[in-house]
């Protein structure tokens, strides 16, 4: 598949790895920041989770899947992990695709590979949360297409007129 703007990109050339390396915090910062979608505080959290994982290993509870192109550039990633106190529920904390690599199915591929990893770990459900604000409609559309459905809505959760929507996907 080739699309103008990124004629060389081909999903089949992506490679995936699960183990973060020392330069991933800054790579993650770069692509999360570049989306223009997240607040400064949110960007810091995304970076912090990679650092936590580097520091404490899987004890941190944060698992990753990084997608890189054939030049080794980080194209997108997911951060997920088991929900403490549950038998087999997982949270999808982050799923981000670099601006230049969106609309090629990278996000969907990352999500489905993440779901397969969750299944291998004995997980049965993946939860993803998002804001109810208009701005996040593309995110919600993404989740719906990826097999999630809306299971809860917490009115005014983030702020007045900014509720939380909880999506869930069964991976059994």
- Binding region for a copy of itself (CB under 8 A): 41-42, 45, 83-89, 124-125, 127, 151-160, 162, 166, 168
Tokens of 106: 């990278």
Nearest approach, Cβ of 56 to a copy of itself (angstroms)?
Answer: 15
Nearest approach, Cβ of 91 to a copy of itself (angstroms)?
Answer: 11
- Residue with tokens 């695709």, as numbered in its chain: 97
Cα–Cα distances (Å) from 125 to 5, 122, 145, 148, in that order, read 36, 10, 16, 10
Nearest approach, Cβ of 6 to a copy of itself (angstroms)?
Answer: 32
Q: Which residue's CB is nearer to a copy of itself, number 16 or number 157? A: 157
Nearest approach, Cβ of 27 to a copy of itself (angstroms)?
Answer: 23
Strands 125-131 and 89-97: parallel
**Can you tell me the distance from the alpha carbon of 137 to that of 106, in angstroms, rounded to the nearest whole number?**
18
Q: Which residue's CB is nearer to a copy of itself, number 60 or number 89? A: 89
Q: Which residue's CB is nearer to a copy of itself, number 64 or number 127? A: 127
φ, ψ of residue 109 to 5 degrees: the values are -65, -45
Q: Which residue's CB is nearer to a copy of itself, number 18 or number 156? A: 156
Q: Which residue's CB is nearer to a copy of itself, number 15 or number 135? A: 135
Contact (Cβ atoms closer than 8 angstroms) between residue 90 and residue 82: yes
Nearest approach, Cβ of 156 to a copy of itself (angstroms)?
Answer: 7
Classify 159 as helix, strand or coil: strand
Tokens of 68: 């890189």
């Amino acid at each position: 598949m080739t699309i103008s703007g990124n004629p060389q990109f081909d999903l089949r050339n992506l490679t995936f790895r699960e183990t973060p390396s020392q330069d991933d915090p800054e790579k993650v910062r770069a692509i999360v920041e570049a989306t223009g979608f997240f607040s400064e505080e949110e960007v810091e959290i995304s970076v912090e989770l990679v650092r936590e994982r580097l520091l404490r290993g899987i004890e941190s509870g944060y698992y990753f899947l990084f997608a890189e192109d054939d030049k080794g550039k980080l194209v997108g990633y997911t951060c997920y992990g088991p929900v403490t106190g549950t038998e087999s529920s997982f949270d999808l904390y982050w799923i981000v695709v670099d601006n230049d690599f969106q609309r090629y199915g990278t996000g969907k591929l990352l999500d489905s590979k993440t779901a397969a990893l969750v299944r291998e770990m004995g997980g049965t459900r993946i939860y993803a949360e998002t804001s109810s604000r208009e701005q996040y409609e593309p995110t919600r559309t993404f989740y719906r297409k990826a097999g999630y459905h809306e299971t809860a809505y917490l009115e005014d959760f983030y702020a007045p007129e900014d509720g939380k929507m909880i999506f869930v996907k069964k991976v059994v």
